[in-house]
Amino acid sequence: MEKTLVLIKPDAFARHHAGDIIKRYESEGFRILAMKLLKMDERLASIHYAEHIGRPYYKDLVGFMTSGPLIAMVLEGEDAIARVRKINGKTNPKDAEEGTIRKEFATSGRRNAVHASDSPESAAREIAIFFNQTEIYDGTYHVEADD
């Protein structure tokens, strides 16, 4: 099983789409191993987006990501990284396939509702930025049958 980090970005959270987005991942069979609501600050943004520092869009990216609450999640499932990225759709919602999260909930290429790790290495690095080991449920869980 593979793990990936997902962020429901401030635009989707502010527009009350978080529940619909979480439901989409759950309906695809992903297990939620960790989830928290937080407000990213500039320090956290500089760690998460370190590879973008110095690029022309960096200041706008940090301004957007620190503009309001977001939800960080660790999802687990078979081929989770590729499958979540496919469910999310292309970065620009104009180019995203019908039925993807970005096609339905994003407003632009920069305000694109969700982030997901793009490789196993990125997933490991990003998960560690947002969660410590005690915050990640890595066991099994099941639903008890009603009596």
pLDDT of residue 139: 75
Contact residues for 81 (Cβ-Cβ < 8 A; gap 6+): 2, 4, 116, 117, 118, 119, 120, 123
Res 116 pLDDT > 80: yes
DSSP-derived letter for residue 38 is E
Instruction: Select the more confidently predicted residue: 140 or 46.
Output: 46
Query: Model pTM?
Result: 0.93
Please give the tally of structural domains in the chain.
1
Region 128-139: what's the mean pLDDT?
93
CATH number at residue 12: 3.30.70.141
Question: What domain range is 96 assigned to?
Answer: 2-77+92-135
Catalytic (active site) residue 115: yes
> Is the residue at 6 inside a domain?
yes
Q: Which candidate in 16, 17, 115, 142 is catalytic?
A: 115
| Three-class secondary structure of residue 89 per DSSP | coil
Please check the confidence at residue 103 and state whether its pLDDT lies above 90.
Answer: yes
In a domain, 141, yes or no: no
**Separation CA 36–CA 49 (nearest Å):** 19
- 61 close to 52: Cβ distance less than 8 angstroms: yes
**Is 112 assigned a ligand-binding role in the annotation?**
yes
Checking if the pLDDT of 17 tops 70, the result is yes
In this structure, which amino acid lies at residue 45? A
Provide the residue type at 113 as one letter: A
Q: What is the pLDDT of residues 68-97, one digit of tens each?
A: 999 999 999 999 999 999 999 999 999 999
132 assigned binding-site residue = no
* Annotated binding-site residue? 102: yes
